[in-house]
Amino acid sequence: MKKFLNSVDTVLTESLDGFVAAHSDILVLGEGHKFVRRRELKPGKVALISGGGSGHEPLHAGLVGHGMLDAACPGQVFTSPTPDQMVEAVAGVDTGAGCLYIVKNYEGDVMNFDMAAEMSEGVLQVVTNDDVAVEDSLYTTGRRGVAGTLVVEKIVGAAAEEGRALAALKALGDRVNASTRSMGVALTSCTVPAAGRPTFEIGEGEMEFGVGIHGEPGRRRDQLKSADAIAEEICTAISNDLGAAARGKALLFVNGFGGTPSMELYLMYNAARKIFETQGVTVVRSLVGSYVTSLDMAGCSITLSMLDEETAKLWDAPVHTAALRWGM
C-alpha cells in the first residue's frame, strides 16, 4: 500500500485539519473533529446536516456552505458517524428553525441518525436510496444511497437558503430522491488505509458491475466491455427503473470514484447523454467529476435526476462550498 500517511490512526483528523484550514473562509471545525460547519450561520434558517463514513470526499464535508449543507459529520473510513456527532452538530448549527438530516441508506448510517434524531428536538430526516443496482447488500436494507445524495443536498440546500420550513424541505427532499436513480461500475478495488490491502480482488480484464461506494458487490462480476456498452446497460437499468417518469428534462451526473481521470468521465458522459436522449430524456443540466468517491477506486457512476421548473431553478441557485461553487 502506497499512501500519503503519517499513521492510519490520525489520517482522518489530520485530513480534516488541512481541509478546514484550506477553506477557513467558509468552514469551522467542531470540537473533537466531530463535525464541520458553515462559518457564517443564517438565523432562522432550517439547518441541513449530513454525514457518513470518510473516504467519499468531497461528500459530505466538501458540500458544506452557502446553498447546501450547514454541517457534515465525518465517521472513520467507511464507518458511520456516531449519534453524539450528529447531536453536537445540531447544537452547533440550529438557529431555531429546526434541522433536516440527509442520510444515505446504509444500515449503520440510518441507525445512528435515527438515534440522534430521538435525542434532539425539531429534527426530520430524508433517506436517499437512488442506487438501482441491487435491492439489498451487506451494508444496507433496501437500496443504497449513493451519488444522488449530492443532488438532494444541492436542491434542498437551495430551498433552505430561501427560508422554507422544515416539513416543506423534507417533502422536497423525498420528492427529489424519488426522481433520482444511479448505478456504478468499478474497474479496480479501493484500499482502506487501516486494512492496507484492496477491499476485493478483481482481474485485469474484469469489472464489478453495480458496485457500491464502499466496494461492496453489485449485480455481477463481468468481463470489461467498451464504454458505450457499459453506459448502455447502466442507462437502460436507470430508465427501466424510472419507467414512465424517465421522459422530459433531467440532470445528468457522471461521478468518478476517485481513481478515474476526467477524460474518461467526460467520455462516459458523452455516451450516457446520447443513450438517454434516444430514450426520451432531455439533458438540461450536467455535472461531471469525482464528488462521491470510494478512496482510490477506478470506476464511475451515472445518475439521472428528473427535473421540473422548480427543481431546475433550485439546482441553478447560488452555491459556495469547497466542492461546488457557482452563481455567487
Q: Which positions are catalytic?
A: 56, 214
Q: C-alpha angle 89/93/99, rounded to 5°?
A: 80
What is the residue-wise DSSP string for 221-282? EEE---HHHHHHHHHHHHHHHHGGGSSEEEEEEEEE-BSS-HHHHHHHHHHHHHHHHHTTEE
CA dihedral 289, 290, 296, 297 (to 10 degrees): -70
Return d(Cα 190, Cα 198) in angstroms, integer. Answer: 5
Return d(Cα 248, Cα 308) in angstroms, integer. Answer: 9
CA dihedral 165, 166, 170, 176 (to 10 degrees): 40
**88: alpha, beta or left? (left if phi > 0; alpha if psi -120 to 50):** alpha
Among 121, 15, 120, 27, which Cα is nearest to 72's?
27
Axis crossing angle, helix 166-178 with helix 148-161, rounded to the nearest 10 = 150
Return d(Cα 199, Cα 115) in angstroms, integer. Answer: 29
Return d(Cα 257, Cα 290) in angstroms, integer. Answer: 6
Q: Who's near 54: CB < 8 A, 6+ residues apart?
A: 12, 15, 74, 75, 76, 77, 78, 79
Helices (H), 41-196: 83-93, 107-118, 148-161, 166-178
